[in-house]
Structure 1
């Protein structure tokens, strides 16, 4: 399974998406973590359940190629 955390960090570091916008997309996919918890997941400070990684992946897959 692909770990989307590196991709999410890259998008955040390049200002392609804000943490708030990433969280909104993640939440829209069914995520239950708070924005702070999502930030900790993305930066590997907390270990998410495998399904949470799927939600993060789905949240970033829908981003347009040239940004949100």
Structure 2
């Protein structure tokens, strides 16, 4: 289970464009106890972290992913000046 969690975490941060050092810094700021080298080794499935630290890493990644602006469908007010709004 730990190896799969590490693999999926590495995949998620890669897809989101989050650098490992950025993940580690955010994880550390949340109280993470593993060093940057240990986190990198964990992401490569060559170092074991306790379940709480793994979940804290996942939480840090999810917070960083949530901050990434995503495309969204525009509202009329996003497309036209409110004073000149016209119906199509």
Number of residues of Structure 1 aligned to a counterpart in Structure 2: 68
TM-score by length of 2: 0.61
TM-score by length of 1: 0.75
* Residue matched to 1:26: 27
* Residue matched to 1:54: 55
> Matched residues in 1 for 2:67 and 2:30: separation?
21
Structure 2 unaligned residues grouped into runs of 5+: 70-88
Question: Quick one: higher RCO (CA 8 Å, sep 6+), 1 or 2?
Answer: 1
Structure 1 unaligned residues grouped into runs of 5+: none
**How far did residue 6 of structure 1 move?**
2.6
> Matched residues in 1 for 2:30 and 2:66: separation?
19
User: Is the 1:9–1:42 contact (alpha carbons within 8 Å) kept by the matching residues of 2?
Assistant: yes
RMSD: 2.6
User: Is the 1:23–1:38 contact (alpha carbons within 8 Å) kept by the matching residues of 2?
Assistant: yes
More helix by share: 2
Rg: which structure is higher? 2
**Which runs of at least 4 in structure 1 moved beyond 4 Å after TM superposition?**
none
